[in-house]
Amino acid sequence: MIRVVHRWPGLLAMVLLVLLALSGAALSVFPALERLAAPQAATSQSVADLATLIAAQYPGVEQIRRAPSGRITAYWFDAGTPGAAVIAPATGEAVASADPGRVERWLTTLHRSLFLDDTGRMVAAAGAAAMLVLALSGMALVARRMGGWRRWFAPLRGPLAGRWHVTVARLAVAGLILSSMTALWMTASTFDLLPDGATRPDQPAAVSGRTGFALAGMDILRATPVSDLRVLSFPYAGDATDVFTLATTGGTGLIDQGNGQVLSWASPTVWQRLSETIYMLHTGQGASVLGLVLGLMALGVPVLALTGPVMWAAARRGRPGLRGNAPAGRAATVILVGSEGGSTWGFARTLALALRAAGQSVHVAPMTGFDPRRYGAADRFILLAATYGDGDAPASAKGFLDRLASLAQAPAAPLAVLGFGDRSFPAFCAYAEAVAAAAAARGWPSLIGYDTVDRQSPQDFARWGRALGEAMGLTLELAHQPALPATETLTLSSRRDHGAEVQAPTAILRFALPQVSLWQRLTGRGFARFQAGDLLGILPEGASLPRFYSLASGEKDGFVEVVVRKHPGGLCSGQLMALEPGQGVRAFIRRNPGFHAGRDPAPLILIGAGTGVGPLAGFVRANSRRRPVQLYFGMRHPDSDFLYRDEFSQWQAAGQLDRLVTAVSRGARPHYVQDALRAEAAQVAEAIARGARVMVCGGRDMARGVSEALAEILAPRGLTPAMLKAEGRYVEDVY
Amino acid sequence: MKSILAALALTTALTMPGLAMARQVTLTTELNRYGGDGAYLAFYVTNASGAYVGSLWMAGSKSKYYEHMSDWYRATGGSRSEVSGVTGASVGAGRTLEITVDLADAIFDAGYALHIDAAVEDMRESPSEIVVPLTTSGAGAAVAGRRYIARFSYSM
């Protein structure tokens, strides 16, 4: 719902908002320029002093005005000709022309009325209202995406367009709210919808009838500092009944020209003061620094207007259509989907197709539409739920838990819950788990136990499908092919072979970086912005499922590199190991944000064996900031499978790698990487105490050995690997 | 010079009791290129002793800005009812405003004067920028304003 409220005003008002924001940003510069250019009055100078100086220069002076910037302007009549100038308050002499600049005036008219007068003012006000709706709904969306208001500035993941959109939005939203609210107020004021009209002092019943009282002798002018002045209007020459009108920050008064007495005074109303403050906040006149800040924030609007539609288009493509969906009231099986990016819909479709093939009537719907009364014929419910952020409901499941809690009674037809997630995130399937727990607590009968699918694994899904089929008394083979990201052909540019002598043929394969289009860069598709630790999906010939390899390079390196070891009978590794430079494979990138080195300066302890050294070498290669890095590398024999041997010594020389500790498993005294860790226990414990992050890559057995060794090393300090994991300081990429 | 012509027929409060005879008078006001936004113009009549008699036309629709036509404002207290039914749009720099009003015959050659107050946003106010005596012989003669009005004339 919030997303809809955010999307449509955004798409409809996009051009208008960009126009208003750009003109507003340009206008924000003028108050600051005026402030810098205007000669300022000394703090002790009184209006009496200023008026006397000006009257000496221009005997026909009619009006003296002070702008919030401190600029003093005098208007006079000289031999029937009107004149005006900006005045230096210290001398009373003219220093510049008083007419407003053409550019500023043009921009102002564009900004507030698009050169369409009142119609344009209303259009601009509608734009401000749209901006306000966008800002408020956007804040709710950011809070939801980040997992709460307290995580407002938490790091972002995902495609470039989305990251830019949120990054800019959370910096600029305060200014956009202020500017749009003040704009609406000012429009209301312009159209006389607010009781903020100026108060006028009462006309005096009588005046002294004399003229020529010296300005310097008027008490009220002597008591008013120039900084409080707004306007001082002089009486008409020769009209003894006329008066001085003085407007200050404290109100407006009439002064007798014959004796300098204040005849009447009117203070501004609360509404008037409020409108003045709002005018200042919107225009920056009198608050030029704030004006510049607001102008900068307004510059975020074009960025938001460009990235928003890209995000919308990318999300639209993610959700597949549903054909052959049975009506809700007649379906025996109801599949409810909680999906954020759209991939869970793909699983739902596979499940629905398989169930229909088995003769079932199936209704598939988003979890948001959950209402048990609609499903009169349901024999079973199946919930497929992803998780958003830190355990939140994904977009198509919003409000489901509330609705479940508000039911008088849980449905009688049994329920199966399947969670979709990624184990490299701390809140793996947290939302699906919460749903399963809530359903159990409400007494909803269970069809089969709660289960999960990790990283869209077809194997996990097929296994769950068999259990579901068994419970339903039918054979259910779910052959799900996750919608593959578009693959591109990678061409091998070079290979370095190792390990043949130790019966572990291994190669460092380097591919040329394919071209990345702007659209891919914006939507985070293709080979845009990958880094070491991300995964390279390779689709071997004759297979429909990809195999994943940890990347040993990032996009900035200008090539795509992986380390591959030949597995006996392995389809994919066999094809890769047979690849010659110039030949190609079909491949795509899958983000693996849980296994990135990150940008913080904390030390790194990298631990890997065999091909697992690939991404670790990538981290070291990317360590141009010379963050402290220790690398523990397990191999079979240094003469055979010491991968990246030359690079490591270069990187050490360049300061990108502090320590390289190797462990050799072949030889008289087999030595594994966990043994190397134990031997360096003091170093390791010391680095961890200083906040180091541990990153482990390699086989499952090695990872277990490393975890045990770390447990021993950390025990004296009262730490455990589990505690580090909980803080995100101990991550594994294990295969 | 490109100009727009606004021809309006209207009846004002200046048809005095007992003075049944009235004539159509066309007021032509040409603004100079003062380099600002649209000008607010107040057209009103004073009698032989300088007292306000009534308003003929208000170019400018937002009453919150009427105070800047300071002579008119002083005379009327800013009362909207003084210009109810006789308001129109403000007049852009370089444009010409032409209005037609019915004025009582007795107004002419009797010491009455037509005033025009002008005001432009962010620029100086110009009260009584034009003050012309209403005489039959003065019809058709152009008068220049002080700041915003290049030329003003009335014709019968």
Q: Which residues of chain B are within 8 Å of residue A81 when distances are taken between CB atoms?
A: 146
| Residue range(s) defining the domain that contains residue A466 | 320-472
Report chain B's mean pLDDT, rounded to a whole number: 83
Give A447's contacts (C-beta < 8 A, 6+ positions apart). Answer: A380, A381, A382, A414, A415, A416, A468, A471, A472
pLDDT of B20 > 60? The answer is: no
CB contact under 8 A, A100 and B123: yes
Residue B53, pLDDT > 80, answer yes
User: Does residue B16 surpass a pLDDT of 50?
Assistant: no
A303 in a structural domain? yes
Q: Is B64 on the interface with A (CB under 8 A)?
A: yes
**Which pLDDT does position A723 carry in this prediction?**
85
Q: Is the pLDDT of residue A1 over 80?
A: no
pLDDT of A649-693, one tens digit each? 999 999 999 999 999 888 778 889 999 999 999 989 999 988 899
Q: According to the model, what pLDDT value does residue A142 have?
A: 85
CATH assignment of the domain containing A462? 3.40.50.360
Instruction: Test B67 with A191 for CB contact under 8 angstroms.
Output: no
Q: Is residue A478 part of a domain?
A: no
Taking residues A24-28, what's their average pLDDT? 96
Question: What backbone torsions phi and psi does residue A264 show, to the nearest 5 degrees?
Answer: -160, 160
Query: What digits encode the pLDDT tens for the residues A549-580?
Result: 999 999 999 999 999 998 888 888 889 999 99
Question: Among positive and negative, which fits the CA dihedral A320, A323, A327, A330?
Answer: negative
Range A266-274 average pLDDT? 93
> Do A587 and A605 fall into the same domain?
no
Same domain, A607 and A727: yes
Task: Flag whether pLDDT at A420 surpasses 90.
Answer: yes
The pLDDT of residue B1: 30
**Is the domain of A627 the same as that of A731?**
yes
Q: Of A84, A69, A78, which Cα lies nearest the Cα of A38?
A: A69
Choice between A181 and A455, residue whose per-residue pLDDT is larger: A181
* Same domain membership, residue A455 and residue A367: yes
Nearest CA in chain B to A65: B124
Mean pLDDT in residue range A174-198: 93
Q: Which residue has the tokens 């300022």?
A: A40
Q: Which architecture does CATH list for B9-155? A: Sandwich (2.60)
Has residue B3 got a pLDDT over 70?
A: no
* pLDDT attached to residue A323: 66
Domain count, chain A: 5
Q: Is the pLDDT of residue A50 over 90?
A: yes
Q: At B27, is the secondary structure helix, strand, or coil?
A: strand
Q: How confident is the model at residue A374 (pLDDT cuts 50, 70, 90)?
A: confident
* Better pLDDT: B155 or A734: B155
Q: How many CB pairs under 8 A join A and B?
A: 43
Measured between beta carbons, which residues in chain A are less than 8 angstroms from residue B74? 203
A572-576, long-range: CB < 8 A, 24+ apart: A572/A538, A572/A540, A572/A543, A572/A547, A573/A547, A575/A540, A575/A541, A576/A507, A576/A509, A576/A538, A576/A540
- Do A28 and A177 have their domain in common? yes
> Do A375 and A328 fall into the same domain?
yes
Q: Assign A237 a pLDDT band (cuts: 50, 70, 90).
A: confident
Q: Is the dihedral of CA B6, B7, B13, B14 positive or negative?
A: positive
Tell me what pLDDT residue A390 has: 61
Is A241 in the same domain as A367? no
Kindly identify which residue of chain B lies nearest to residue A109, measuring between CA atoms. B37
Chain A CB contacts of B78 under 8 Å are: 200
Closest CA to A605 of A504, A518, A713, A523: A713
Angle at A44 between CA A42 and CA A50, to 5 degrees: 70
Asked if A118's CB is within 8 angstroms of B61's CB, the reply is yes
How far is the C-alpha of A673 from the C-alpha of A680, rounded, in Å?
A: 11
pLDDT above 50 (res B5): no
Quote the tokens at residue A366: 């988003």
| Chain A contact present for B78, CB below 8 A | yes
More confident residue, A72 or B6: A72
Q: Is residue A136 part of a domain?
A: yes
ipTM for the predicted complex comes to 0.76
Contacts with A277 (C-beta within 8 Å, 6 or more apart), sequence order: none
B122 CB near a chain A CB, below 8 Å? yes
The answer to whether residue B62 neighbours chain A at the CB level (below 8 Å) is: yes
Partner-chain residue, chosen from A75, A117, A192, that has the shortest CB–CB distance to B124: A75
Asked if B36 reaches chain A (Cβ–Cβ under 8 Å), the answer is yes
Angle at A614 between CA A613 and CA A618, to 5 degrees: 110
Residue A185 domain-assigned?
yes
Model confidence at A158, pLDDT cuts 50, 70, 90, reads low
> Is residue A127 a part of any domain in this protein?
yes
List residues in chain A touching B: CB distance below 8 A: 62-63, 75, 77, 80-82, 84, 98-100, 102, 105, 109, 117-118, 189-192, 197-198, 200, 203, 233
Q: So where are chain B's domains? A: 9-155
The answer to whether the CB of A107 falls within 8 A of the CB of A58 is no
Pick from A109, A197, A200: CB nearest B64: A197
Residue A484's pLDDT is: 67
- When pLDDT is averaged across residues A17-32 and rounded to a whole number, the result is 96
| Residue B52 confidence (pLDDT) | 92
User: What distance in Å separates the CA atoms of residue A307 and residue A301, rounded to the nearest whole number?
Assistant: 10
Separation of alpha carbons A524 and A164, rounded Å: 11
A300 vs A60, more confident: A300
Q: What is the pLDDT of residue A511?
A: 95
CA distance to partner chain A, nearest, from residue B21 (Å):
36
Q: Which of B38, B62, B78 sits opposite A192 (nearest CB)?
A: B62
What pLDDT, in 10s, does the model give residues B117-141?
A: 999 987 778 888 999 999 999 999 9
pTM exceeds 0.80: no
For residue A456, pLDDT over 70 is answered with yes
Once rounded to an integer, what is the mean pLDDT over residues B64-85? 88
| Cα distances (angstroms) measured from residue A118 to each of A112, A359, A503, A625 | 9, 65, 83, 57
**Higher per-residue pLDDT: A144 or A705:** A705
Q: Is residue A297 part of a domain?
A: yes
Contacts of A355 (CB under 8 A, 6+ apart): A333, A362, A476
Identify the top-confidence range among A1-5, A240-244, A731-735: A240-244
Render pLDDT for A138-156 as a digit per residue (tens, 0 to 9). 998 888 767 668 778 877 7
Which residues of B are less than 8 Å from A190 in CB distance?
62, 64
- Cα distances from A291 to residues A286, A298, B3, in angstroms, run 9, 10, 38
Q: Grade residue A597 by pLDDT with cuts at 50, 70 and 90.
A: confident
**How many Å apart are CA A187 and CA A261, to the nearest integer?**
38
CB A464 within 8 A of CB A418: yes
For residues A177 and A299, state if they share a domain: yes
Instruction: Report the alpha-carbon distance of residue A185 to residue A396 in Å, rounded.
Output: 37
| Cβ neighbours for B22, distance < 8 A, ≥ 6 positions apart | B15, B102, B103, B104, B105
Min Cα–Cα distance to chain B from A62, Å: 10
Does A81 score more than 80 pLDDT? no
Smallest CA–CA distance, residue B17 to chain A, in Å, is 30
A234 in a domain, yes or no? yes
* Domain identity same for A637 and A693: yes
Shortest Cα–Cα distance, A42 to chain B (Å) = 25
Nearest CA in chain A to B90: A117
List, for residues B88-122, the tens digit of each pLDDT value.
Answer: 999 998 999 999 988 888 889 999 999 999 999 87
Percent over 90 (pLDDT), chain A: 54
d(CA A60, CA A234): 9
Question: How many Å lie between the alpha carbon of B114 and the closest alpha carbon of chain A?
Answer: 19
- Please state, as a whole number, how many other Cβ atoms lie within 10 Å of the Cβ of residue A335: 25
Judge whether A632 and A661 are in contact, CB under 8 Å.
Answer: yes
A417 and A357, same structural domain?
yes
Q: What is the pLDDT of residue B10?
A: 38
Q: Is residue A609 scored above 70 in pLDDT?
A: yes
pLDDT score recorded for residue A426? 64
Partner residue facing B124 (CB), from A63, A102, A189: A63
Q: Give the residue on B whose Cα is nearest the Cα of A105.
A: B36
pLDDT at A527 exceeding the cut of 50: yes
User: Are residues A302 and A239 part of one domain?
Assistant: no
Handedness of CA A706, A707, A709, A714 (dihedral sign): positive
Q: Compute the mean pLDDT over every residue in chain A, rounded to the nearest whole number.
A: 88
Q: Rg of chain B's alpha carbons, rounded to an integer? A: 14
Dist CA A419 CA A438 (whole Å) = 14
- Report yes or no on A477 lying in a domain: no
DSSP string of A662-721?
EEE-SSSS---HHHHHHHTHHHHHHHHHTT-EEEEEE-HHHHHHHHHHHHHHHGGGT--H
Q: Do B147 and A82 touch (CB under 8 A)?
A: yes
Show residues of chain B in contact with A105, CB under 8 Å.
35-37, 122
Whether the predicted pLDDT of B68 surpasses 50: yes
Token digits of residue B140: 């058709």
A624 and A690 together in one domain: yes
Chain A residue numbers touching B64 (CB-CB < 8 A): 189-190, 192, 197-198
In the predicted model, is pLDDT for residue B80 greater than 50?
yes
For chain A, percent helix, then strand, then coil, each to nearest 5?
Answer: 45, 20, 35
pLDDT of residue A97: 86
